[in-house]
Every structure is written in C-alpha cells, then in structure tokens.
Amino acid sequence: MTVKDPRAAGLAALAGLLADRTRAACLLALLDGRAWTNGELARHAGVAASTLSEHLGKLVAGGLLTEERQGRHRYVRLADARVAQLVEELTARVAPEAAAPRPRTLREASAGSALARGRTCYDHLAGRLGIAITDALTERGLLSVTGGAADAAAAPPWPVTEGRGTGFALTEAGLKWFGDAGIGLAHAGRRPLARACLDWTERRPHLAGVAGAELCRHALDTGWCVRIGSGRAVRLTTTGERTLSALLGINPDTLH
C-alpha cells in the first residue's frame, strides 16, 4: 500500500509558484526588503501591469508575499525573513554562470559589480561587505560557527540546513561588542539571534538573523553605508570605512 505524504501537495504548490520567471524576478527584486507597487514590479519584470497583477495574486495567496494598500496604490513585500532565506538559498544553488550571466552593457556590468561589492539581502548585508564583516566577527571570537555553516563554507554551491542550529551564534564577547557599538538586539518572536545565510555571489555564508538585521539597520542609519539608487546595492562611505577598520580591523581596500 502506498502511503501519501500530506505535505507533498503543499510542496508541489510551492514549487509551482517559484517555477515562473516573472514571479521569480519579482521575488528577487523584493529581496531589497522594501515594498514595491504593481507598476514598479511590472516594469522591472518587463510585463504588462495586468499580467503582473495576476502573478502577484498567486504569490500573495501562496503566502510568499503580503500586500498593503494606501489609497489607490497596492504595495507588496516578502511575507517574512523565512521567505527571503528560501529565495536567497535557492538562488545560491543555481550554477554561477546562470546566477550571474555575462553583462551585455557597461551599465549592467557596473550594476553587477556594485551588487557583488555590497548589497542588502532582505534586511541584512551581503556581498563582499557582508562576508568581510562576518569573517571579522568570527576571527575575533565575536561570532562562532555552529551546525552546518562550516559545511556550507566548505562546499559553497550546496548550502546545508543547520539541523537544530542556525549556523552562527553570538558569543558573550559578541553580545558585548554589539552593545558597545550601539547596536540593539531586541530579540522577539521565533527569529534566531544569529543565522548563516549563503551568499549567492561569494558562495559563503554571511550573518543574518536579528543580529544581521540590526547591524544592517545601524549601518544605514548612521551612514556607514548608503544605498546606490533604488536597488539592493549599497556603498561603504568614508565614515563606514574608518568605523569598520576601528571596530573590526577590516581593510577598506579589500572591499573595492
């Protein structure tokens, strides 16, 4: 007798939501952590607004997006950090040449380089900037590697689910470092304090979770880094270079 797993239908439905290039493009765009309008996403995906609206309806119904309405405008954003983690880790499983195809124009090349140098991954820092901060925290004993993070680093294209762990954990010294740096770590809900998130350009884990989100928020609020245009790319400022050098010994030249 064949026993049907009740989760199979749900998994198939989720896979179906992701198995469309327009919907995938929307999910990747929304990894910047901000809310987008139907028109903005339609232009980004290169489809008609009416077509995009149908796709967004499916993503909202499937629990991957939430929507907010302000007057005539409809905004959508990723439902939560778990959705962002799912999208980022699936993207990291894509072959490097497919995840980052050869740029066709100088503008595309510049945009790709900016994303590789530093970007937001939902609500935390990624790219070389995110990796440099994560490495510095680890080397100074402020962040410890647990569970599957070491495995993910050893075999970058294939992220490992961290069992009962979350890949990273802040040490006592790390908690003090965040406090001394003025970075609050209000820990509410089920979100882990620290978590490893596989970086799709560097193919190594960077810091996510509450600590990653609060560090990113602090970096933007204090001007350590600034957004480039309206996308996910961020640029480290002179203030940020001095601060990260003083706090973590990061050489700014390694981030250019």
- In this prediction the pTM is 0.71
DSSP structure class, residue 111: H
73-78: strand order across its sheet: 36-37, 73-78, 65-70
Kindly report, residue by residue over 1-20, the tens digit of the pLDDT.
465 788 888 899 999 999 99
Output the six-digit token pair for 94. 């894509």
Q: Long-range contacts: 51-58, Cβ < 8 Å, 24+?
A: 51/22, 52/22, 52/26, 55/20, 55/22, 55/23, 55/26, 56/26, 58/17, 58/23
DSSP structure class, residue 5: P
The rounded percent of the chain whose pLDDT value lies above 70 is: 82
Q: Say which residue, 102 or 82, is predicted with more confidence.
A: 82
Q: Which of 135-139, 168-172, 212-216, 252-256 is predicted least confidently?
A: 252-256
